[in-house]
Amino acid sequence: MTIKEVCEKYNLTPDTLRYYERVGVIPEVTRTAGGIRDYQDETMEARANLLKEARAQIVEAKKKYDTALEKLDYKIGRYEIAHKTGKLTWE
C-alpha cells in the first residue's frame, strides 16, 4: 500500500505515519524500485501492539498520579479542618 492508502485506511496524516516509521513504532517499510514506500499489512499489527504497550505504561503512570492526588486531597482536607479548629490531626 502507498502512504496515501495507509493514511486513508487508518485516518492518519502522512507526517504521523512517517514519524511512526522514524521512531520505530512500525517496522522498517520496504520501498519500490522508485523509492516509494510500500506498506505491508503486517506493519499495522506491529504498530497497534506498540501503541497498546504505550497505553499500558500511561495507565500505570496514571495510577501513580491518582494515588498522589488522593494523598494530597487528604492532607489539604486536614489542613482546612485545622484552619477552622486550630488543631492539626491526621486521623
Segment 58-90, tens digit of pLDDT: 999 999 999 999 999 999 999 999 999 999 999
CB 31 within 8 A of CB 1: no
Buried b / exposed e along 30-63 (16+ C-beta atoms within 10 A): eeeeeeebebeeebeeebeebeeeeeeeeeeeee
CATH of domain 3-85: 1.10.1660
pLDDT of residue 59: 96
φ/ψ of 86, rounded to 5, equals: 80, 10
Domain limits, the chain: 3-85
Res. 27 pLDDT band, cuts 50 70 90? confident
pLDDT digits (tens, 9 = 90+) for 29-63: 889 999 998 987 776 777 788 889 889 999 999 99
β-strand partners of 30: 38
